[in-house]
Chains A and B, each alone.
Chain A
């Protein structure tokens, strides 16, 4: 038990360090990166504009790819946004501004669709989510404003580094079904954040409480900024923060994270909508594609090996992250 607690602490510390390092890179890169003052790559843009493909082919391909991403996201246990932004940003002719706007709306739609069921079953906890949502959604606005003010080269480079960081987190951070929380901290006690949920697989009622709430809330400042900046959604960071750092059971963390996204992404999505970075011709095929894909993914889930799919997702993210990084650095245009 002691060994397990120590391992949880180590995992939480490793996750914090990784997230802070990624955040610092994203924050400092625009200041020191040589591409900060650079403009868009005209050669690449004109090559795409001069493409002989009819206008409707790209939205159609986007729909098909989003459908596939919806399946893979469910099987790999990740949100759609984290796959959508680097892959569509890296391999489609759309500008990264529109890709991030669409990515946020994709992540938002998924979270809105899942929210009612998770709340009704008591898996997502509204008392746990609301204080975090207030911080994350405020910071997501700042992130969106920063992200839209930066040049696409800077965004692509920082996005690529972030995606590679996410791959690192996915590989290193082990999840804990029921983290050991010896004593709830004062803040979570004052906010009455605790609960019981019914674990269907074992037929048991699981009591849970959380700890390290102030540190957790502080971490959501970073998570909120990054969610808004890259339009990725933030499930990849929410779950380890809730589970490893704050000690919420894994299922409660996953469900609360999904619900949390519906609030965090709303604030950032409005900034993208009000800035004009939302193209219906991109957004609607993406949302419909990823939602249909998710429905199919849930049906396939019972027949596949999640570990194998998880590694496919990691390889896809690694490739997409490298593509974004190299695109931003003008090495692979």
Chain B
């Protein structure tokens, strides 16, 4: 009875990675945002111009600012506004790391059904993160 009350090994392993990833991600978004606000790195879109753009639909905004969707931001990390995407991507990516962490545990326990479910989950999340799937915009 007592053993069942404890969180399972995979649950604890998932929690450990999630805890670490979440803290790093939150710290990253705060630090990069301070750098952005301080102007140490010049932004691609000047902060004074932001009100011109934030009421536009995303497609119009991208065209007006010359921003490319997808992973283009990686090549723009020298710009203060794009630097923020490090933390955002980290927060959005931590779940994939958590899933990868528990696959070996399920496999070791010969729980192939759950190992398969988690592998499929990783594929779904990686597909979403890849940028292959894009919305049409309007």
Per-residue contact bits, chain B 32-60, to A (CB 8 Å; 1 contact, 0 not)? 11001000000000011111101111100
A97 to B54, CA, bound (A): 9
Which residues between 100 and 134 of chain B lie within 8 Å of chain A, taking CB atoms? 102, 113-114, 117-118, 120-121, 124-125, 127-129, 131, 133-134
A236 to B115, CA, bound (A): 29
Asked if A287 meets B29 with Cβ closer than 8 Å, knowing A115-B15, A148-B137, A196-B4, the reply is: yes
Contact A191 B22 (CB under 8 A): no
Asked if A112 meets B94 with Cβ closer than 8 Å, knowing A134-B117, A280-B88, the reply is: yes
Closest to A138 in B: B124
Partner of A267, one of B69, B113, B128: B128
B91 at the interface (CB under 8 A from A): yes
For A, the interface residue count at a CB cutoff of 8 angstroms equals 76
Contact A137 B94 (CB under 8 A): no
A312 to B48, CA, bound (A): 36
Main secondary structure of the interface of B (DSSP, over half): helix
Contact partners of A205 in chain B: CB under 8 A: 1, 5
Contact partners of A137 in chain B: CB under 8 A: 121, 124-125, 128
A150 to B71, CA, bound (A): 23
Contact A145 B135 (CB under 8 A): yes
Per-residue contact bits, chain A 98-118, to B (CB 8 Å; 1 contact, 0 not)? 100000010011001101110
Asked if A130 meets B50 with Cβ closer than 8 Å, knowing A109-B26, A196-B5, A262-B18, the reply is: no
Asked if A126 meets B14 with Cβ closer than 8 Å, knowing A94-B55, A97-B58, A145-B133, the reply is: yes
Contact A281 B47 (CB under 8 A): yes
B103 to chain A, nearest CB (A): 11
Chain B contact patch, size range:
35 or more
Contact A280 B33 (CB under 8 A): yes
A93 to B14, CA, bound (A): 39
Closest to A264 in B: B95
Asked if A149 meets B131 with Cβ closer than 8 Å, knowing A95-B57, A275-B69, the reply is: no
A266 to B95, CA, bound (A): 7
Partner of A274, one of B70, B84, B94, B138: B70
Contact partners of B135 in chain A: CB under 8 A: 144-149, 271, 275
Closest to A59 in B: B50
Contact partners of A291 in chain B: CB under 8 A: 26
Closest to B70 in A: A274
Contact B67 A119 (CB under 8 A): no
Partner of A93, one of B51, B61, B121, B137: B51
Contact A131 B117 (CB under 8 A): yes
Contact B22 A113 (CB under 8 A): yes
Partner of B136, one of A98, A149, A273, A284: A149
Give chain A's interface residues, CB within 8 Å of chain B. 40, 45, 48-49, 51, 53, 55-56, 58, 93-95, 97-98, 105, 108-109, 112-113, 115-117, 119-122, 124-127, 130-131, 133-134, 137-138, 141, 144-152, 190-191, 195-198, 205, 262-263, 266-271, 273-284, 287-288, 291
What 6 new A-B contacts, CB under 8 Å, besides A93-B51, A130-B114?
Answer: A49-B55, A58-B54, A113-B22, A126-B11, A275-B134, A281-B81
Give chain B's interface residues, CB within 8 Å of chain A. 1, 4-8, 10-12, 14-16, 18-19, 21-22, 25-26, 29-30, 32-33, 36, 47-52, 54-58, 61-62, 67-71, 81, 84-85, 88-89, 91-92, 94-96, 102, 113-114, 117-118, 120-121, 124-125, 127-129, 131, 133-138
19 A–B contacts from the bound complex (CB under 8 Å)? A55-B51, A94-B55, A98-B58, A112-B95, A115-B15, A122-B6, A126-B8, A137-B125, A148-B58, A191-B114, A196-B1, A266-B95, A274-B128, A276-B58, A278-B85, A278-B88, A280-B36, A281-B47, A284-B33
